[in-house]
Structure 1
Amino acid sequence: MSADEASLVNRLEQRLGRLHARQRLGIEADHEAQIFGQGLNFFHLENWYSVHAVIRGVFKLSGLYWRGLRNAADVRVRITDLGFAALPSAFEGFTLLHISDLHVDMNERAMQRMIELLPTLTYDVCVLTGDFRGATFGRFDRVLEGMQRICAALKPPVYGVLGNHDTIRLVPGLEDLGVRMLLNECETIARGDERIYLCGIDDAHFYRVDNIEKAASDIPPASFTILLSHTPEIYRQAAHAGFDLLLGGHTHGGQICLPGSVPITLDSALPRRLGSGVWRYHDMTGYTSVGVGSSVVPIRLNCPPEITLHRLHRSVPRDQ
């Protein structure tokens, strides 16, 4: 282990605890070994890099590739109005800017368009729900370089969680850029003498190192709570744990969809109605972002990229 790697591991152990850091780093090492043919291969389209060029070629032959490339840069601002009976009165109109699935190092035009949009937006808190990098292994220098540009355009505070594409090694660099990463942790947000609680969990899709119980352990009963999770797959656990709002991404809304934004596949163990946009499960409201970036191939069809402003209200909105 090099001196730089040892220093980074030491920072992670101090920040997250020795067990969490070692567990995550160990799973990542196993994953990279599988990618390069050691042991049982982890079959997943995102990791089957030999076919990515074939997929691009198929879209180019079909004539859809260049249109999809333009679509992938057409980042849009979406606004939701979400109503909650439990929202403290001081937080009426509280607005979260929700950004997901950046895949910074493979979506330069989308990143530039988003950076142009950010100064025009008004919000109280920004939340980033994971998948900062395009690959699922390897170096991440370009990711942090891209995130430096993005963070310079964001207004604090900024909170984030990791996704299934992200190495835990990104955490120190992201926090140095001003992103408070929530890894099975919770932050209190205060307005006057009223509070809401923002929790975040580590990746629940591939790494399976999420721990909702730990994240929510210090929250007082009957509090208003928001959970950040890269994948919405943990919607059942989150709802039964009493969270009021779950914000996630991961699905890309399908990324390549049929007309009418009907996804061909969601690559997630989710009912289709939870695959994008606003949804409800029992007493919990959820929102699944289709994301800013793209994965496998840098194109989108019938599924434009988005950043989202969630405005919280004490009354139930008419169109929810």
Structure 2
Amino acid sequence: MSIQARRLAESPVLTGGVPPVQQVAAPLPPSDDERLRARLSELHLRQRLSMESAHGKAVFGYGRTFFHIENWYSIHAVIRGTLRLMGIYGRGQRNARALKVVHNPVTLPALPAAFSGLRLLHLSDLHLDGDPEYLHTLCERVQEVDADLTVITGDFRYRTHGDWRPAMAALERLRRLLPGEVYAILGNHDTVRMVPTIEDFGIRLLLNEHVVLERGADRLYLAGIDDPHYFCTDNIERAAENVPLDACAILLAHSPEAYWQAAHSGFDLLLAGHTHGGQLCLPGGFALMTNADCPRSFCRGPFRYCDMQGYTSAGTGSSIVSVRFNCPPELVVHELRRPQ
């Protein structure tokens, strides 16, 4: 059986949680604003839109960290110029397009038997409207991956504000190639106004919500929170509402900064991104900056806190400047396993 045929046959069934938005035939389709009001709570939507408008461009203050280099566009040009003068800008661009597939086996004691062997393709920090050549390479690499479903941990757009439609056009192209059902969350580069468009592509956004994956009588809970780094619109309590305490549950968070609350809420696995693994690293992979208020050991690759395991993607795309050094971009395939 081909990979694509097996994906269709084995894809888990979505049930429970908060039901996906349904397309209902009507003489006049609702506007995106109306759909947003129907999709999110009034407070969540007001909070997100207000902060995007008032503080979305701030370089200093707000969020979990004081300094937000991704919002300081003038320094981006300085970095590019410096790398060109050093003669390494082109090499950095080639590094940023050298996507690798990383396989990460995860043993979860509470994992139901029917989900043993489940493969999750984890993409993060796509920044799809940055480099067209990167997008082409990403589409090629995705087709080589064998997985049962896809999760995306935020940052669809390259910049933190401005026109988001080019990123959506690129996402539409990518979506057709992604394996299985696709679940995603928003990051600090994303506007909540993207929500209707993203869900029209068949991507289920988890906005402080959860869904239930079923195989036979077994259930696996997949939750997602809104951006915990800059906008701080995450609500783990709401995302985990009605998830049984003894159930196996996975949380998608844009940044590993949510590790403390996630672990003490009973999640078994946290999948995150945001840090890019540092992106510009010294030899040996030492990050010059991680842009996250959490232990450095949680900012790239697998980690553990209390009884919870975690994985922070080094990022699929690149931000600030489309270059990488000593920190390759990655597509991660997490294979869930039960203890032997």
TM-score (norm 1): 0.93
Q: Give the counterpart letter for 1:263 in structure 2.
A: A
> What are the residue-to-residue correspondences of 1:192-211 with 2, within 5 Å?
192-211=216-235
Q: 1:269 to 1:43 in 2, by over 3 A?
A: closer
Q: Which residue, 167, 190, 201 being the options, matches 1:166?
A: 190
The residue number in structure 2 matching 1:232 is 256
Does the aligned pair in 1 maintain the 2:119–2:334 contact within 8 Å?
yes
One-letter amino acid matched to 2:109: A
Between stretches 208-217 and 12-21, larger displacement belongs to 12-21
More helix by share: 1
Shift of 1:227: 0.1
1:296 is aligned to 2:314: no
- For residues 43-62 of structure 1, give each alpha carbon's deviation from its aligned partner in whole angstroms, at most 9, with x where no partner exists: 52111112211110001111
| Distance (Å, rounded) in 1 between the aligned partners of 2:81 and 2:57 | 28
Matched, 1:115 2:135: no
Give the corresponding residue for 1:14.
38
The 8 Å contact of residues 248 and 287 in structure 1, kept in 2 or not, is answered as yes
- In 1, the alpha carbon distance for the partners of 2:288 and 2:144 equals 33
Amino-acid identity (%): 50
Alpha-carbon separation, structure 2, partners of 1:32 and 1:190: 38
Query: 1:110·1:292 contact (CA, 8 Å) conserved in 2?
Result: no
Which deviates more from structure 2 when the two are superposed, residues 13-22 or residues 91-100? 13-22
Distance 2:259 2:71 in 1: 25
CA RMSD of aligned residues (A): 1.4
SS of residue in 2 equivalent to 1:172 = helix
State the 1:108 CA deviation.
2.2
8 A contact 2:58–2:71 mirrored in 1: no
- Deviation of 1:64 (Å): 1.6
Where do residues 241-260 of structure 1 align in structure 2 (5 Å cutoff)? Answer: 241-260=265-284
Give the distance between the partners of 2:86 and 2:144, measured in 1 at CA.
Answer: 37
**CA distance in structure 2 between the partners assigned to 1:131 and 1:315 by the alignment:** 33
Query: Could you say which residue in structure 2 is the equivalent of 1:50?
Result: 74
Preserved CA contact (<8 Å) 1:92 1:313: yes
Q: Deviations over 1:252-276 (max 9, x none)?
A: 0000001111111111112111111
Q: Distance in 1 between matches of 2:285 and 2:57?
A: 36
Task: Map residues 43-192 of structure 1 onto 2, 5 A cutoff.
Answer: 44-192=68-216
Confirm or deny: 8 A CA contact 2:146 2:179 kept in the other structure: no
| Cα distance per residue 1:204-224 (max 9 Å; x no partner) | 001111000000011122000
Instruction: State the Cα distance separating 1:244 from its structure 2 match.
Output: 0.2
Deviation at 1:156, TM superposition (A): 2.8
For the pair 1:263 / 2:287, whether they are aligned, the reply is yes
2:222 counterpart of 1:218? no
SS for the counterpart of 1:104 is: coil
Match of 2:48 among 13, 24, 30: 24
1: distance between equivalents of 2:101 and 2:132?
A: 18
| SS of the residue 2:43 aligns to | helix
Amino acid in the other structure paired with 1:253: G
> Is the CA contact (8 Å cut-off) linking 2:57 and 2:160 kept in structure 1?
no
Equivalent pairs, count:
305
Kept in 1: contact 2:245–2:266 (CA 8 A): no
Letter in 2 for 1:27: M
Quote the offset at 1:32 in angstroms: 4.3
